[in-house]
């Protein structure tokens, strides 16, 4: 695959109404791509039609669930690229409801890959895995070969789906690119609940003048990646001929403690307060410890570098939700 010029490229984005999907859609439209969004608009997740406001009327919308093979068969599979982002995103919920997680995050992924194999084998496919696939962290920064001891059905299914994508690459010759994403945040991220996208949730809490609850001492390190940096990483990898069949850890590459992130949110918003409480059992059991991505593999392969500091990212996030918060909470 040569360096990709996105102009006129046909792109399918599953989960395209969510934070990552809509952000990649907006960027790809700027670059002239021809976009189809597929989303089931499940209420628990971040689907939001307002996310696509900047490109309203410029993308094809399909309301469909990746668990439903029949509706996937209705699509015209003639895409150059597929960003496979539809997912159950809460790792805590996956403990309560492992069937839902498996149906979406494993079997749903299989449905997309089977359609691609049968009807669209030339499409390059992006898979959005997670840092949680590693489970307990032995040492930071975390490179791709860090041992994997998943702690939840979410992490187990992400590992299985990653392997499924790699199987389709090796056995069926479909070009896939796999990311294990750290903690993304920013404009268009869901703020309905605290189950994921925690920076966004805290921005909302602070904007509403509430007390933000931090479990434990809040000293654990996290790697928060601003959505625009993540989008550029996805484009860089999908453009790189050498990225086919490869797995990349993607984050900002910088660690910040949970409590410092929280304090930064409160300072930036200028409202809200922080309270420390003990860890609830269902959180401490699946806590990974410090996490920071080692991003050298993607940086070596492409010219991508994260550009937005956490201070700047939170400033931009707050500015976005000051203007558009009414569409989110």
The helix (run of H) or strand (run of E) holding residue 274 is strand 273-277
Answer yes or no: are the C-beta atoms of 123 and 94 closer than 8 Å: no
Q: Is 150 in the site for ligand NAD (CB under 6 A)?
A: no
> What is the secondary structure of 225-259 as a DSSP string?
EEHHHHHHHHHHHHH-GGGTTEEEEES-S--EEHH
- State which residue, 241 or 282, has the beta carbon closest to ligand NAD: 282
Other residues' Cβ atoms within 10 Å of the Cβ of residue 206: 24
Which residue in the set 128, 200, 262, 294 belongs to the binding site for ligand NAD (CB under 6 A)?
Answer: 128
Annotate each residue in 194-213 with x if it binds ligand NAD (CB under 6 A) or - if it does not, as one string.
Answer: --xx----------------
Q: Is 183 in the site for ligand NAD (CB under 6 A)?
A: yes
How many residues bind to ligand NAD according to rule CB under 6 A?
A: 32
In whole angstroms, the minimum distance from the beta carbon of 20 to ligand NAD comes to 4
In whole angstroms, the minimum distance from the beta carbon of 209 to ligand NAD comes to 25
Q: Which of residues 38-57 bind ligand NAD (CB under 6 A)?
A: 39-42, 45-47
Helix and strand numbers, DSSP H then E, in the chain: 12, 13
Other residues' Cβ atoms within 10 Å of the Cβ of residue 257: 15
320 sits in the region (left: phi over 0; alpha: psi -120 to 50; else beta) called: alpha
Give the CA distances from residue 92 to residues 5, 22, 50, 97, in Å, rounded to whole numbers and listed in that order.
Answer: 39, 24, 27, 9
Q: Is 18 in the site for ligand NAD (CB under 6 A)?
A: yes
In whole angstroms, the minimum distance from the beta carbon of 40 to ligand NAD comes to 3
Answer yes or no: are the C-beta atoms of 75 and 62 closer than 8 Å: yes
Answer yes or no: are the C-beta atoms of 45 and 88 closer than 8 Å: yes
Find the part of the chain contacting ligand NAD (CB under 6 A) among 19-27, 205-213, 255-263, 301-309.
Answer: 19-27
Quick check: helix, strand or coil at residue 17?
coil
- State which residue, 99 or 211, has the beta carbon closest to ligand NAD: 99
- State which residue, 161 or 318, has the beta carbon closest to ligand NAD: 161
Which residue in the set 28, 72, 108, 206 belongs to the binding site for ligand NAD (CB under 6 A)?
Answer: 108
Pairing state between β 224-226 and 183-185? parallel
Answer yes or no: are the C-beta atoms of 37 and 17 closer than 8 Å: yes
Please give the structure tokens belonging to residue 271.
Answer: 């409202």
Which residue in the set 65, 101, 229, 232 belongs to the binding site for ligand NAD (CB under 6 A)?
Answer: 65
61 forms beta bridges with: 37
Q: Residue with the closest Cβ to ligand NAD?
A: 18
Which residue in the set 115, 159, 175, 190 belongs to the binding site for ligand NAD (CB under 6 A)?
Answer: 190
Which residue in the set 11, 12, 13, 20 belongs to the binding site for ligand NAD (CB under 6 A)?
Answer: 20
Which residue in the set 66, 191, 221, 266 belongs to the binding site for ligand NAD (CB under 6 A)?
Answer: 66
Pairing state between β 60-63 and 176-181? unpaired
| Cis geometry, peptide bond prior to residue 194 (ω within 30 degrees of 0) | no
Question: What are the φ/ψ torsions at residue 246 (nearest 5 degrees)?
Answer: -105, 155
Which residue in the set 11, 28, 75, 87 belongs to the binding site for ligand NAD (CB under 6 A)?
Answer: 87
Q: Is 86 in the site for ligand NAD (CB under 6 A)?
A: yes
Q: Is 67 in the site for ligand NAD (CB under 6 A)?
A: yes
Q: By the criterion CB under 6 A, which residues form the site for ligand NAD?
A: 14-15, 17-21, 39-42, 45-47, 65-67, 85-89, 104, 108, 128, 130, 181, 183-184, 190, 196-197
């Amino acid at each position: 695959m040569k360096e990709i010029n996105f102009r006129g490229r046909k792109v399918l984005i599953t989960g395209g109404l969510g934070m990552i999907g809509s952000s990649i859609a907006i960027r790809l439209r700027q670059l002239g791509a021809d976009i189809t969004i597929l989303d089931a608009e499940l209420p628990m997740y971040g689907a939001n039609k307002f996310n696509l406001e900047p490109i309203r009327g410029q993308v094809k919308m399909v309301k469909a669930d990746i668990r439903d093979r029949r509706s996937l068969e209705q699509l015209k599979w003639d895409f150059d690229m597929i960003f496979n982002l539809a997912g159950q995103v809460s790792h805590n919920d996956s403990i309560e409801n492992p069937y839902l997680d498996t149906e979406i995050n494993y079997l749903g992924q299989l449905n997309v890959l089977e359609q691609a194999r049968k009807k669209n084998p030339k499409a390059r496919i992006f898979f959005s895995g997670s840092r949680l696939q590693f489970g307990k962290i032995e040492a930071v920064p975390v490179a791709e070969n860090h041992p994997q001891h998943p702690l939840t059905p979410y992490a187990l299914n992400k590992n299985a789906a990653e392997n499924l994508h790699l199987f389709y690459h090796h056995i069926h010759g479909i070009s896939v690119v796999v990311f294990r994403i750290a903690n993304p945040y920013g404009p268009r991220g869901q703020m309905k609940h605290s189950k994921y996208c925690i920076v966004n949730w805290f921005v909302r809490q602070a904007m509403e003048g509430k007390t933000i609850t931090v479990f434990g001492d809040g000293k654990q390190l996290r790697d928060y990646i601003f959505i625009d940096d993540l989008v550029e990483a996805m484009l860089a990898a999908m453009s790189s001929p050498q990225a086919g069949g490869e797995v990349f850890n993607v984050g900002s590459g910088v660690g910040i403690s949970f409590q410092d992130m929280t304090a930064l949110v409160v300072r930036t918003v200028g409202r809200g307060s922080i309270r420390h409480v003990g860890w609830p059992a269902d959180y401490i059991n699946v806590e990974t410890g410090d996490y920071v991505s080692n991003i050298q593999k993607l940086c070596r392969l492409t010219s991508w570098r994260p550009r937005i500091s956490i201070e700047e990212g939170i400033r931009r996030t707050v500015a976005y939700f000051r203007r558009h918060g009414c569409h989110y909470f």
